[in-house]
Amino acid sequence: MKDKSPSGDTITFLGTGGARIMVANQVLASGGLWLNLGGTEILVDPGPGCIVQSTKRKLRAEKLSAIILSHRHLDHSADVNIMIEAMTQGGFKPRGRLFVPTDALETEPVIFSYLKSYLEGIEVLKEGKSYSIGNISFTTPLRHIHPVETYGMLFKTAEHTFSYITDSRYFDSLCHHYGGELLIINVVFIEPIFSVDHLSLPDAERIIAELKPKVAILTHFGTSMWRAKPWEAAQRLSQETGVRVLAARDGMRFDLSQLDNP
């Protein structure tokens, strides 16, 4: 029998709320994803409250190797500056790299210029490029359809592969570029709203059915998804797609060793 001991790859959901109304009300928290991949710690999309949610859970910013923004919208970037300051201990211990789309740095930057010298480096995300952080690599396979420059990610660790489909309007390429054993997907709406570039539950179902990961985790819920009880929606998707679908909860820590013993 395979060893069920923790793999050393975990993902903590610092928040599961998404889009403007839910984030403004904080019915669900909005702090992003804290990855611990074989000891390499990476913060993805530090939305409002990230510093509060992470310190409350004893996650220590000074251990972070990198911060990644999928895009510049407030619910993904609001705490990026304080998290850079915390990662570098107020700038006294420069460290860590920042990965962001070009438009997070230009025109109306979301990163304060005085913090840039605290970092080891800044890398600009581009469609189809690969990046490495220690022994972790990730790619940004395609630019999403969203009002600002936006990229999802496909991560590879020593033991696992997983994807993060961040905010986007649905388009078929989403079903072809995000492989891996685990899929994390931002599902804002219960039904599609044509005028808004966000994924809905039927979109998520289509993507999960095509990609067939071992596990899919729904997160980034807007008000309509929250009212529909995401855990019930996840159960329905599990039955319909044959994939184990979970609804993330605020503070949930997912151990990727679960992928080793389906």
Residues making contact with Zn ion (CB under 5 A): 73, 167
List all residues 6 or more positions away from 6 whose beta carbon is below 8 Å from its beta carbon. 255, 257
Which token pair is 7? Answer: 């793999």
Kindly state the smallest distance separating residue 39's Cβ from Zn ion, in Å.
Answer: 30
Measured CA to CA, the distance from residue 18 to residue 244 in angstroms comes to 22
Which residue lies nearer to Zn ion by CB, 197 or 250? 197
Nearer to Zn ion, 44 or 59 (CB): 44
Minimum CB–partner distance for residue 226 and Zn ion (Å):
17
CB of 162 to Zn ion, least distance (A): 20
DSSP conformation letters of 72-138: --HHHHTTHHHHHHHHTTTTTS---EEEEEGGGTSSS-SS-GGGGGGSSEEEEE-TTEEEEETTEEE
Choice between 145 and 243, CB closer to Zn ion: 145
Q: How far is CA 186 from the centre of its chain?
A: 8
Could you tell me the smallest distance in angstroms from the CB atom of residue 71 to Zn ion? 6
Helix (H) or strand (E) holding 212: none
User: 161 vs 224, which CB is nearer to Zn ion?
Assistant: 224
**Cβ neighbours of residue 22 closer than 8 Å, sequence gap 6 or more:** 28, 30, 221, 222, 223, 226
The residue count for the chain: 262
Smallest distance, Zn ion to C-beta of residue 104, A: 12
